[in-house]
Amino acid sequence: MATLREIIAADLADIVVGDLVLCEVLQGLTSERDAVRIERMLRAFEVEAMTGVEIAVKAAANYRRLRSLGITVRKTIDMLIGTFCIEHGYGLLHADRDYDPMERHLGLQVVR
């Protein structure tokens, strides 16, 4: 899988950072110093709001569709992020197995 650093270096695509992704990345950091540095780096890219009524309803429908196939996505935030990317035609760079069924069954585009 490509890393964000490789994608930036190759200038392969426009990079959009979702506000939910920004939140997940920043909450995973243990030091305030690192959080400030990483936030500054991520804000260099376009940051988009990811949720709203339409995405919430579509994410719930996608969750039900996967459940009907016997697949349970563990985190609601992953359903929201995946659905946002599907609806906007964005490829998602990730390292989370919850996105695999979204790729297989919902058409999520994954950056590799």
The top-level CATH class assigned to 4-110 is alpha beta
pTM: 0.88
Q: Which two tokens stand for residue 31?
A: 């030091």
Instruction: Report domain extents, the chain.
Output: 4-110
Q: What is the pLDDT of residues 71-104, one digit of tens each?
A: 999 999 999 999 999 999 999 999 899 999 999 9
Model confidence at 1, pLDDT cuts 50, 70, 90, reads: very low
Quick one: how far is CA 91 from the chain centroid? 9
CB 42 within 8 A of CB 5: no
69 forms beta bridges with none
